[in-house]
Amino acid sequence: MTKAIKLLTALPQTQRERLMELAKEVSFAEDSRIFEAGGTADRFWVIRSGAVSLDQRVTPQQRVTVGSLGAGDLLGWSWLFPPYQWDFGAEAFSAVRAYEFDASAVLALCVEDPLLGLSLVRIVAEILAHRLELTRGKLMEHYALRRHV
């Protein structure tokens, strides 16, 4: 299994400093919606404190939590891939403080500094691989339990 990667700590210091020049400190109150699946993915966050639930709508009235994120975690990766729409929804499970990054500014920085861009894409890919492995494990547990019921 891959290990959990934290975006800001995985970037080399000089690249992290360049990225952090674009950071804006934001906060979200407990139970506030941060984004909805299908919405325009034009930013991302690195959580400083608090917890965020990722969810998927299964009916118009019901959402299922598919993951949770905490301090140091990347919130949002859909800004990096067309069609630039959120694949999941996100809600503050508790009060959240985060660094917010404007996707267009980060993408422009990546064009200006291709090594930073490559590092960023690799780190996001590692984060996604880790989350995919966690999800696969949960699905296997879920279906194994259902077979024994």
What is the pLDDT, as a whole number, of residue 113? 97
What is the pLDDT, as a whole number, of residue 145? 67
Report how far residue 28's alpha carbon sits from residue 97's, in angstroms, rounded to the nearest whole number: 7
Cis omega (within 30 of 0) for bond into 114:
no
pTM for this prediction: 0.89
**Strand pairing category for 52-57 and 89-92:** antiparallel
Residues 35, 38, 41, 46, CA torsion sign = positive
Position with higher pLDDT, 61 vs 69: 69
What average pLDDT does this structure show over 55-79? 90
**Strand pairing category for 96-102 and 43-49:** antiparallel
